[in-house]
Amino acid sequence: MTLSLFPESASIADYLMPSAVVDSDHPTVAALARSLTAAASSPVAQVKVMYEWVRDAIAHACDIHAVPVASTASEVLAQGHGFCFAKAHLLAALLRHCGIPTGFCYQRLVFDDAQPTHHTLHGLNAVYLSELDRWVRLDARGNKPGVQAEFNGEGEQLAFPIRPHLGEVDYPTIYT
Protein backbone atom coordinates (compact mmCIF):
# COMPACT_ATOMS: atom_id res chain seq x y z
CA MET A 1 0.00 0.00 0.00
CA THR A 2 1.41 3.36 -1.02
CA LEU A 3 1.44 6.17 1.53
CA SER A 4 -0.62 9.27 0.67
CA LEU A 5 1.89 12.10 0.29
CA PHE A 6 1.34 15.77 1.14
CA PRO A 7 3.58 18.48 -0.38
CA GLU A 8 4.76 21.08 2.12
CA SER A 9 4.38 23.75 -0.57
CA ALA A 10 1.51 24.23 -3.01
CA SER A 11 3.97 25.70 -5.52
CA ILE A 12 5.71 23.10 -7.68
CA ALA A 13 8.38 25.75 -8.40
CA ASP A 14 9.59 25.41 -4.80
CA TYR A 15 10.64 21.84 -5.62
CA LEU A 16 12.85 23.05 -8.49
CA MET A 17 14.94 25.65 -6.68
CA PRO A 18 18.63 25.22 -5.82
CA SER A 19 19.55 25.62 -2.16
CA ALA A 20 22.61 25.53 0.08
CA VAL A 21 22.64 21.72 0.08
CA VAL A 22 20.80 21.06 -3.19
CA ASP A 23 23.30 22.94 -5.33
CA SER A 24 21.74 21.95 -8.66
CA ASP A 25 23.44 24.93 -10.28
CA HIS A 26 26.95 23.67 -9.38
CA PRO A 27 28.92 23.05 -12.61
CA THR A 28 29.87 19.46 -11.73
CA VAL A 29 26.32 18.55 -10.76
CA ALA A 30 24.93 20.17 -13.92
CA ALA A 31 27.46 18.39 -16.14
CA LEU A 32 26.62 15.01 -14.63
CA ALA A 33 22.88 15.61 -15.02
CA ARG A 34 23.36 16.42 -18.71
CA SER A 35 25.63 13.42 -19.25
CA LEU A 36 23.35 10.92 -17.50
CA THR A 37 20.21 12.05 -19.32
CA ALA A 38 21.63 12.53 -22.82
CA ALA A 39 19.94 9.36 -24.11
CA ALA A 40 16.84 9.45 -21.89
CA SER A 41 13.65 9.61 -23.96
CA SER A 42 11.29 10.99 -21.29
CA PRO A 43 11.26 12.57 -17.84
CA VAL A 44 10.49 9.16 -16.31
CA ALA A 45 13.53 7.72 -18.11
CA GLN A 46 15.61 10.65 -16.81
CA VAL A 47 14.45 9.95 -13.25
CA LYS A 48 15.28 6.26 -13.59
CA VAL A 49 18.80 6.78 -14.92
CA MET A 50 19.70 9.45 -12.34
CA TYR A 51 18.13 7.51 -9.46
CA GLU A 52 19.97 4.31 -10.35
CA TRP A 53 23.24 6.20 -10.79
CA VAL A 54 23.06 7.82 -7.33
CA ARG A 55 21.85 4.59 -5.72
CA ASP A 56 24.59 2.46 -7.30
CA ALA A 57 27.57 4.76 -7.95
CA ILE A 58 27.57 6.73 -4.70
CA ALA A 59 28.34 4.58 -1.66
CA HIS A 60 26.40 4.93 1.57
CA ALA A 61 28.87 6.30 4.13
CA CYS A 62 27.94 3.71 6.78
CA ASP A 63 28.50 0.81 4.39
CA ILE A 64 32.10 1.86 3.75
CA HIS A 65 32.85 3.55 7.12
CA ALA A 66 33.60 6.78 5.26
CA VAL A 67 34.79 10.12 6.56
CA PRO A 68 34.52 13.03 6.07
CA VAL A 69 30.76 13.32 5.90
CA ALA A 70 29.45 15.18 2.86
CA SER A 71 26.31 17.29 2.98
CA THR A 72 25.87 19.25 -0.24
CA ALA A 73 25.14 17.56 -3.54
CA SER A 74 28.45 18.71 -5.01
CA GLU A 75 30.38 17.41 -1.96
CA VAL A 76 28.71 14.02 -2.26
CA LEU A 77 29.63 13.91 -5.92
CA ALA A 78 33.25 14.90 -5.22
CA GLN A 79 33.66 12.43 -2.33
CA GLY A 80 31.73 9.57 -3.93
CA HIS A 81 29.80 8.77 -0.75
CA GLY A 82 27.26 10.14 1.68
CA PHE A 83 24.62 9.26 4.23
CA CYS A 84 21.02 8.81 3.07
CA PHE A 85 20.31 12.54 3.50
CA ALA A 86 23.34 13.53 1.43
CA LYS A 87 22.53 11.04 -1.33
CA ALA A 88 19.00 12.48 -1.37
CA HIS A 89 20.52 15.97 -1.75
CA LEU A 90 22.51 14.79 -4.78
CA LEU A 91 19.54 13.06 -6.41
CA ALA A 92 17.39 16.15 -5.85
CA ALA A 93 20.07 18.39 -7.37
CA LEU A 94 20.41 16.23 -10.48
CA LEU A 95 16.65 16.00 -10.98
CA ARG A 96 16.02 19.67 -10.27
CA HIS A 97 18.72 20.63 -12.77
CA CYS A 98 16.67 18.76 -15.38
CA GLY A 99 13.46 20.53 -14.38
CA ILE A 100 11.99 17.60 -12.46
CA PRO A 101 10.36 18.69 -9.18
CA THR A 102 11.97 16.87 -6.26
CA GLY A 103 11.50 17.05 -2.51
CA PHE A 104 12.43 15.18 0.63
CA CYS A 105 10.61 12.62 2.77
CA TYR A 106 11.57 10.96 6.02
CA GLN A 107 11.10 7.72 7.90
CA ARG A 108 11.64 6.99 11.58
CA LEU A 109 13.38 3.61 11.67
CA VAL A 110 14.86 1.29 14.27
CA PHE A 111 18.61 1.93 14.15
CA ASP A 112 19.61 -1.58 15.25
CA ASP A 113 17.22 -4.52 15.55
CA ALA A 114 19.19 -5.67 18.61
CA GLN A 115 18.09 -2.44 20.35
CA PRO A 116 14.61 -1.78 18.93
CA THR A 117 14.01 1.25 21.16
CA HIS A 118 16.77 3.24 19.44
CA HIS A 119 15.49 5.06 16.35
CA THR A 120 17.07 7.05 13.56
CA LEU A 121 15.71 9.36 10.88
CA HIS A 122 16.11 8.14 7.30
CA GLY A 123 16.01 10.57 4.37
CA LEU A 124 14.74 9.87 0.86
CA ASN A 125 13.22 11.72 -2.08
CA ALA A 126 9.81 12.32 -3.60
CA VAL A 127 9.68 13.18 -7.30
CA TYR A 128 6.74 14.70 -9.15
CA LEU A 129 6.22 12.77 -12.38
CA SER A 130 4.13 14.99 -14.63
CA GLU A 131 3.56 12.10 -17.06
CA LEU A 132 1.81 10.23 -14.25
CA ASP A 133 0.46 13.34 -12.49
CA ARG A 134 1.65 12.16 -9.08
CA TRP A 135 4.47 12.16 -6.56
CA VAL A 136 6.59 9.01 -6.27
CA ARG A 137 9.07 8.32 -3.48
CA LEU A 138 12.56 7.08 -4.32
CA ASP A 139 15.19 5.80 -1.91
CA ALA A 140 18.73 6.16 -3.26
CA ARG A 141 20.29 4.85 -0.03
CA GLY A 142 22.06 2.08 -1.91
CA ASN A 143 21.35 -1.62 -2.12
CA LYS A 144 23.10 -4.31 -0.10
CA PRO A 145 22.08 -7.70 1.30
CA GLY A 146 18.64 -7.20 2.85
CA VAL A 147 18.12 -3.80 1.20
CA GLN A 148 16.70 -3.65 -2.34
CA ALA A 149 15.26 -0.28 -3.41
CA GLU A 150 14.00 0.11 -6.98
CA PHE A 151 12.19 2.57 -9.24
CA ASN A 152 9.73 1.39 -11.84
CA GLY A 153 7.38 4.39 -12.11
CA GLU A 154 4.42 2.37 -10.88
CA GLY A 155 4.73 1.54 -7.18
CA GLU A 156 7.23 2.07 -4.41
CA GLN A 157 10.04 -0.25 -3.48
CA LEU A 158 11.91 1.64 -0.78
CA ALA A 159 14.98 0.43 1.10
CA PHE A 160 13.14 -0.15 4.36
CA PRO A 161 9.57 -1.37 4.94
CA ILE A 162 7.95 0.30 7.94
CA ARG A 163 7.39 -1.86 11.03
CA PRO A 164 4.82 0.04 13.11
CA HIS A 165 5.01 -2.47 15.97
CA LEU A 166 8.61 -1.26 16.54
CA GLY A 167 7.62 2.40 16.53
CA GLU A 168 8.71 3.01 12.95
CA VAL A 169 6.91 5.79 11.08
CA ASP A 170 6.52 6.81 7.44
CA TYR A 171 6.13 10.60 7.43
CA PRO A 172 3.83 11.74 4.58
CA THR A 173 5.11 15.30 4.09
CA ILE A 174 7.20 16.17 1.02
CA TYR A 175 9.58 18.93 2.11
CA THR A 176 11.16 21.42 -0.27
> What pLDDT is stored for residue 23 in this prediction?
98
Every domain of the chain and the residues it spans:
6-174
Contact 54/87 with Cβ under 8 angstroms?
A: yes
Q: What is the pLDDT of residues 66-111, one digit of tens each?
A: 888 899 999 999 999 999 999 999 999 999 999 999 999 999 999 8
Q: Which ranges of the chain have pLDDT less than 50? A: none
- Displacement of CA 146 from its chain's centroid (Å): 19
In terms of Cα–Cα distance, which of 57, 91, 53 is closest to 72?
91
Helix (H, G, I), strand (E, B) or coil at 170: strand
Query: At a CB cut-off of 8 Å and minimum separation 6, what does 163 contact?
Result: 110
The span from the CA of 97 to the CA of 114, in Å, is 41
> What pLDDT is stored for residue 111 in this prediction?
84
> What pLDDT is stored for residue 154 in this prediction?
76
> What pLDDT is stored for residue 1 in this prediction?
56
> What pLDDT is stored for residue 24 in this prediction?
98
> What pLDDT is stored for residue 43 in this prediction?
95
> Span 6-174: which CATH code?
3.10.620.30
112, amino acid identity? D
